[in-house]
């Protein structure tokens, strides 16, 4: 099984991973993140909610500008 992880504190939240995923692994959800490294805030962020659909194609990893996605097989 493929495991998808994301570091929300590094993520810019643009959602390229959601747009490029051919299998619908990613969704928008409200997540608590640190802004400026110290302030907690809640914002809509990409979340790999349906990991069972992931085939390990690496498209989300390849397109991510902040490289905050980790995929293990």
Query: What pLDDT does 36 receive?
Result: 66
Which pLDDT belongs to residue 33? 78
Measured between alpha carbons, how far is 16 from 32 in angstroms, rounded to an integer? 20
In sequence order, the 6+-apart residues with CB closer than 8 A to the CB of 38 are none
- Tens of each residue's pLDDT in the chain, 73 residues: 899 999 988 999 999 999 999 999 999 999 887 766 666 788 899 999 999 999 999 999 999 999 999 999 8
Q: What's this model's pTM, rounded to 2 decimal places?
A: 0.86
**Which domains are delineated in the chain?**
3-72 (3.30.70.20)
Going by C-beta distance under 8 Å and a sequence separation of 6 or more, which residues neighbour residue 66? Answer: 10, 11, 12
The DSSP bridge partners found for residue 72 are 3
């Amino acid at each position: 099984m493929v495991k998808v992880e994301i570091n929300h504190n590094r993520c810019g939240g643009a959602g390229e991973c959601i747009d490029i995923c051919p299998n619908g692994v990613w969704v928008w959800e409200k997540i608590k993140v640190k802004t400026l490294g110290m302030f907690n805030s809640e914002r809509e962020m990409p979340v790999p909610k349906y990991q069972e659909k992931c085939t390990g194609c690496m498209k989300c990893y390849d397109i991510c500008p902040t490289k905050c996605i980790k995929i293990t097989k």
